[in-house]
Amino acid sequence: MGGNAEYFASPQTVGELVELLRYCNQQHLEYTIFGIGSNVLFSDYPNANKMYISLKELLQFEVKENRWFVSAGIPMAMLALAGELIQSEDFQFTHLLPGSLGAGIYMNAKYYQGQIGDVISRVYYLDMAEPNLEVQCIPVEECQYGYKRSLFQDKPWIIVGADISVEGYPLLSQPEIESILERYMLMKDNKSNLMQFYTFFSGEMKRLTQPNTPTFIQEIEEYRAKNKHFVHHSCGSYFKNNYDIGKSIGALVDHLQMKGTGSGGAMISPHHGNMLINVNDATSEDIIHLQMVISEAIFKEYGFIPEPEVQIIK
């Protein structure tokens, strides 16, 4: 959704990314970094003086002793597949979790009890305030993780990768994970398509686990199917939950009987009150209009304005 960008790039290496950022600085171009795009809403009228940079092609998965180095563009759902290969349950929560690892680290992506901040040990980043643009690293203990919160949201840093500790587990086979990665790379431009994402990761997981698919993996498949997460284009949960209220935003919108409300080509999902879906060539304006309608109704009934989780990129 949104308009066509004048400048768009998807670097494949950190070297290419650094070169691109230097080019933006020299040409006085603004830039914005994103991952697979599953949590962003682009403006219908993009900034013509801005480079839109997706890190979804930054794809590196290196098996080291006791740890994996995983680059920012690797989809989080790849960790669940790698976990199955070493028979670890620690990464199951990432099964079908849309989005790249870089964004997951930035937003502390979660699924029920599992969150990205709990499985990484160190994050590698470029500090845009440092003129030399060298890769730096920070241990997870200093990343200030909370509910959908991290230190990265307050810093001019670009996450390029992370270490994941797999101490005590058998060594992952580098060729095995690379063959999955090669099949993923064949998706080319479809990496941002939620339906393709679902087909790929659900299929790979079935191939690895059937007929003994772990219960939690089955539950994830059922939850996503029940909420029809991958049937229409959406940005996942539109608002962050407000835990002071004691009920999720989805439940509040449901309570207000707003599911199914439309605006242009957009609609509040009939299946989940915190999901705004693109049913018929919606514009970003249509989605933002629904955001306003929900915010007003929640403010009137519950006295607070919900905070969007989706990042709106101008």
Ligand X SMILES: C=C(O[C@H]1[C@H](O)[C@@H](CO)O[C@H](OP(=O)(O)OP(=O)(O)OC[C@H]2O[C@@H](n3ccc(=O)[nH]c3=O)[C@H](O)[C@@H]2O)[C@@H]1NC(C)=O)C(=O)O
Where along the sequence are the contacts to ligand X (CB under 6 A)? 110-112, 236-237, 240-241, 248, 250-251, 254, 259, 272-274, 309
**CA separation for the pair 139, 145 (Å, rounded):** 12
**CA separation for the pair 257, 10 (Å, rounded):** 41
Q: Read off the tokens for 303.
A: 């006295």
- Sequence letter at residue 191: K
Residues in 228-247 at the binding interface with ligand NDP, rule: CB under 6 A: 236
Among 150, 237, 248, 263, the one annotated catalytic = 237
**CA separation for the pair 198, 189 (Å, rounded):** 15
Q: Which residue is nearest to ligand X (CB)?
A: 236
Residue from 216, 213, 295, 301 nearest 261 by CA: 295
> If binding is defined by CB under 6 A, does position 72 make contact with ligand NDP?
yes
> If binding is defined by CB under 6 A, does position 32 make contact with ligand NDP?
yes
Shorter beta-carbon distance to ligand X: residue 207 or 247:
247
Radius of gyration (C-alpha) of the chain in whole angstroms: 20
Residues in 95-114 at the binding interface with ligand NDP, rule: CB under 6 A: 97-100, 102-104, 106-107, 109, 111
Stretch that binds ligand NDP, among 7-15, 91-99, 249-257, 260-268 (CB under 6 A): 91-99
Is there a catalytic annotation at residue 309? yes
Shorter beta-carbon distance to ligand X: residue 115 or 283:
115
Query: Which does residue 240 bind out of ligand NDP, ligand X, none, counting CB within 5 to 8 angstroms by kind?
Result: ligand X
Stretch that binds ligand NDP, among 37-45, 85-93, 166-174, 286-294 (CB under 6 A): 37-45
**CA separation for the pair 55, 125 (Å, rounded):** 13
Shorter beta-carbon distance to ligand NDP: residue 55 or 217:
55
CB atoms within 10 A of CB 144: 14
CB atoms within 10 A of CB 162: 28
**CA separation for the pair 258, 53 (Å, rounded):** 35
How far CA 249 is from CA of 84, 88, 228, in Å, comes to: 33, 32, 17
Shorter beta-carbon distance to ligand NDP: residue 295 or 311:
311
Q: Which residues belong to the active site? A: 237, 309
Binding site residues, ligand NDP, CB under 6 A? 32-40, 55, 72, 76, 97-100, 102-104, 106-107, 109, 111, 152, 158-159, 236, 311, 313
